[in-house]
Amino acid sequence: DTGLKVQHPFIEGKEIPVWAANFVLSDYGTGALFGCPCADERDYEFAKKYDLEIPYIGHPAGLSDEAFQKGIKDQDFIPFSEGKLVNSPKAGEKTIGPELNGLKISEAKKKVIFFLQENKIGQKEINYRLRDWGVSRQRYWGCPIPIIRCEKCGDVAVPDEQLPVALPTDADFSVSGNPLDHHPTWKHVDCPKCGAKAQRETDTLDTFVDSGWYPLRYLSPHRKNPVDKQIADRFMPVNQYIGGVEHAILHLLYARFFMRALQKAGLVDKAEPFASLFTQGMVTHESYKLDHQWLYPEEVETKDGKKIHKETGREVEVGRSEKMSKSRRNTVSPEAIIAEYGADVARLFVLSDTPPERDQEWTAEGVAASARFVQRIESLVARILSEEKAQGSDQKDKDQALKLRQVTHKTIKAVGEAFEAFVPNVALARLHELVGAMRSAFEGTGEESQKARREALEVLALLIAPIMPHLAEEMIASLDPDGKLAAERPWPEIKEAFLQENTQKLAVQVNVLPLLAIALSSCDFQPLYGSSGPEDPKVQLKLKQVFVANIPTRFGQEMRLQLQEQLSGASNEDPQGYVLRATGGLQYSYIGIHKDNTAGRIQVLGFASWHLYKVGPDPKVIASGSARALDGYDPTIDEAFASRLNNQSVEGRVAKNLADQMAQGVAVFFKTGVQSVGNARPRVGKYTDPDAQNGTGIASQQSYAPDGMPIGAMGYTDNSVSTTAAGSDGLDE
């Protein structure tokens, strides 16, 4: 507490204490802020710790007057981002500023800014978090800076007709320092302005400069101008960009800066260089050390479970698996791998078991396993091609052929979806299943089975082509010697008839109360909501009337965005029909410890609960539920930024999973809530929805595990929905 007090700018005679807090940045904005403890979590915690006044100035949307007044009485944290302002000013207070009661936040902001600027006591300002970028480098490799230094004229730009400036091809790299400084002729030129003797700038630009706009040059590499606007506007932005996570704070920012600068200069129309970004993980390997010296993996062998130095026979010190680097010598020679196994095996291993966004440990055992899979495919090819042509088929043979074709076309679908989703490890898992099905499909000896095996073999060749192109071309050449290359052929066509199996109905019950019957085909649920699959238009209409209230904390905001997306574009304005209020959090735990006592893996548990309110004079909970999700990541030691991105990625997936479960619960409630089943009795007073077919409602008695999570509801162990009010907003019986 500084002991200072300042006059409130809007309320006559009211003084506010001035405090110093470590979460206020002195170099950002004015270095001072107006605390709002009722709606900002950090301000709230600060006010509670130091027993400061907590004025409640906002009534959140969907919160009843009774609950709001109770929250004020208990000095609770009441997050407020949607709703109306209150107590601005309080009854009895005399305001010298604008009247804000009853306004939305956006409306109140405009009034406050106008008042401050009119009275010259404040102004609206945008703070940019910008830093300088030193772009010059004292080295040969880089784009020459197109400046000529003249003693008379100063720094002169190289004329356009002399661009681009080319580096000399005969630079001497044996001299110390920048080779361009020591070049006998390249740096000596005439001044473009006065013709006097002058010198070129010998510094070169940071290589990030060229990489910041190279996609534009790739579109028209032979044109005289750097950028062809017509071509750039047609093809930009890049559809899919793939790169390491370390580029997020450098290269990608520079690329976006250049694109905006070029747009402002009128050279392109688009502002973003990349439409989608995918950051892949690193290939890692154990590191080995002996007598404080790093060793290459080929200098080490395994004996009796120990790592031994081949030359001396001494046991070596084994470090953690980390990204390959020359300094630690934990690298593997691609040439040696290709010489022993071939390039396809190396590609297969890199894509095989690990999601591409995660780091993957390189192991000799893993490479050998990939080689065995290739050998199984080669054996399969030889066996199928050596079959003598069969004649005719009995019913058993036709059934065998149908079974293999079903697996084949499901694999086409699954592999295509996996590639689209950037999960090649999932695609390979499906390919393993197809190979297994093909190896088990030789029971059928008739003509149809034989055809199905050859069809599956051709499909397999085309599906593995993006991963193992050499093997794919060899397989296609064996099947069709005079035909097109695998690379020239279209992706295999899915025949929907082979995706269907016998359809049955599965009754879903909660505590012996039948809620709905869902048609099952190929073991897939038909969704009640979402952007794909069959949708119930009545459910969709209800979902669009749901307003998702603010959820405090950064993770809560992530859940809210995901919920809005999952609820078919749920309302983000004032609530019209329903308000969904949710809370949630994360719990971290360590799984496994390295020898150096660092965490091997971090497990992230997400949990959430939700309540659905019907908007009205006295809002009441009409449905509620809970959700949980589990994920994890491998921490990247000594790379804080990469670890943080991994953490954010996992938090994003957990938030999406929780949001999906909550949206699922809301959708199921809207679908089934009006059922009147048995002697089910509601837990609170009667409520009738005018949109519903009847108002009898249901309620379910949930069982709870020791951790507070419901058990067995809707066939889930981690997700539940229970109606908690009489009457409901369901749609179908």
Q: What is the pLDDT of residues 351-382, one digit of tens each?
A: 877 777 777 777 777 888 889 999 999 999 99
- Worst-scoring range by mean pLDDT, 184-188, 225-229, 366-370, 576-580? 576-580
Answer with the residue of higher pLDDT: 341 or 534: 341
Residues 6+ apart with CB under 8 A from 591: 599, 600, 601, 602, 603, 632
* CB-based contacts of 298-303 (< 8 A; 24+ apart in sequence): 298/333, 298/336
Angle at which helices 447-464 and 424-439 cross, to 10°: 160
Q: What is the pLDDT of residue 510?
A: 46
Q: What is the pLDDT of residue 575?
A: 55
Confidence check: pLDDT of 506 > 60:
no
Confidence check: pLDDT of 191 > 50:
yes
Distance in angstroms (rounded) separating the CA atoms of residues 577 and 613: 9
Condensed to tens digits (0 to 9), the pLDDT of residues 128-157 reads: 777 778 888 988 989 999 999 999 999 999
Question: In DSSP terms, which residues pair with 721 in a beta bridge?
Answer: 625
Confidence check: pLDDT of 445 > 70:
yes
Confidence check: pLDDT of 519 > 80:
no
Q: Give mean pLDDT, residues 37-49.
A: 84
What region, left, alpha or beta, does residue 473 occupy, with left being phi > 0 and alpha being psi -120 to 50 degrees? alpha
Q: What is the pLDDT of residue 466?
A: 94
DSSP letters, 393-407, are --HHHHHHHHHHHHH
Distance in angstroms (rounded) separating the CA atoms of residues 26 and 28: 6
Q: What is the pLDDT of residue 463?
A: 95
Q: What is the pLDDT of residue 203?
A: 94
Asked if 50 and 22 count as a contact pair (C-beta separation under 8 A), the reply is no
Q: Give mean pLDDT, residues 321-346.
A: 84
Question: The domain 361-498: what is its CATH number?
Answer: 1.10.730.10
- Worst-scoring range by mean pLDDT, 397-401, 535-539, 576-580, 620-624? 535-539
Q: What is the pLDDT of residue 598?
A: 61
- Average pLDDT along the chain: 79
Q: What is the pLDDT of residue 148?
A: 96
551 phi and psi angles, rounded to 5 deg: -115, 115
What six digits make up the tokens of 716?
């889930």
Residues 6+ apart with CB under 8 A from 207: 137, 141, 142, 143
Confidence check: pLDDT of 407 > 50:
yes
Answer with the residue of higher pLDDT: 394 or 637: 394
Q: Give mean pLDDT, residues 488-501.
A: 86
**From residue 505, how far is each of 285, 425, 538, 658 by CA, in Å?**
50, 33, 21, 27
What six digits make up the tokens of 420?
């689209």
Q: Give mean pLDDT, residues 512-534.
A: 42
Q: What SS3 state is found at 556?
A: helix
Q: What is the pLDDT of residue 593?
A: 62
Q: What is the pLDDT of residue 431?
A: 92
Q: 3.30.160.150, 3.40.50.720, 2.60.40.1240, 3.90.600.10: which CATH number matches 537-672? A: 3.30.160.150
Residues 6+ apart with CB under 8 A from 430: 411, 414, 415, 418
Q: Give mean pLDDT, residues 472-487.
A: 91
Q: What is the 3-state secondary structure of 621-676? A: EEEEEEEEEEEEECCCCCCHHHHHHHHHHHHHHHHHHHHHHHHHHHHHHHHHCCCC
139 phi and psi angles, rounded to 5 deg: -155, 165
Q: Could you tell me whether strands 197-200 and 83-85 are parallel, antiparallel, or unpaired per DSSP bridges? A: unpaired
Q: What is the pLDDT of residue 636?
A: 56
Q: Give mean pLDDT, residues 54-81.
A: 78
Single out the residue of 330, 329, 366, 326 nearest to residue 346, CA to CA: 366
What six digits make up the tokens of 327?
């300094």
Q: What is the pLDDT of residue 558?
A: 87
Residue ranges matching CATH 3.30.160.150 in the chain: 537-672
Q: Give mean pLDDT, residues 644-666.
A: 83
Please list, residue by residue across 438-456, b when 16 or more beta carbons sit within 10 angstroms of its beta carbon and e when fewer do.
beebeebebbbbbebbebb
Q: Give mean pLDDT, residues 304-311.
A: 87
- Worst-scoring range by mean pLDDT, 141-145, 586-590, 720-724? 720-724
At residue 354, what is the residue type? T
Condensed to tens digits (0 to 9), the pLDDT of residues 286-295 reads: 888 888 888 8
Answer with the residue of higher pLDDT: 720 or 226: 226
Q: What is the pLDDT of residue 594?
A: 57
Distance in angstroms (rounded) separating the CA atoms of residues 191 and 471: 60
State the fold for domain 5-119: Isoleucyl-tRNA Synthetase; domain 2 (3.90.740)
Confidence check: pLDDT of 285 > 80:
yes
Share of the chain above pLDDT 70, in %: 82
Distance in angstroms (rounded) separating the CA atoms of residues 733 and 726: 16
Q: What is the pLDDT of residue 534?
A: 39
- Worst-scoring range by mean pLDDT, 455-459, 656-660, 691-695? 691-695
Confidence check: pLDDT of 427 > 70:
yes
What six digits make up the tokens of 685?
């007073």
Q: What is the pLDDT of residue 267?
A: 94
Distance in angstroms (rounded) separating the CA atoms of residues 595 and 319: 8
Distance in angstroms (rounded) separating the CA atoms of residues 158 and 145: 9
Q: What is the pLDDT of residue 516?
A: 46
What six digits make up the tokens of 105?
């936040």
Residues 6+ apart with CB under 8 A from 270: 232, 233, 236, 237, 259, 263
First-last CA distance in the chain: 62
Which helix H or strand E contains 16, and what residues bound it? strand 15-17
What six digits make up the tokens of 460?
């397999």
Distance in angstroms (rounded) separating the CA atoms of residues 105 and 416: 46
DSSP letters, 181-242, are GG-SSTTEEE-TTT--EEEE---EE-HHHHHTTHHHHHHSTTSSSS--HHHHHHHPSBS-EE
Share of the chain above pLDDT 90, in %: 25
Residue ranges matching CATH 1.10.730.10 in the chain: 361-498
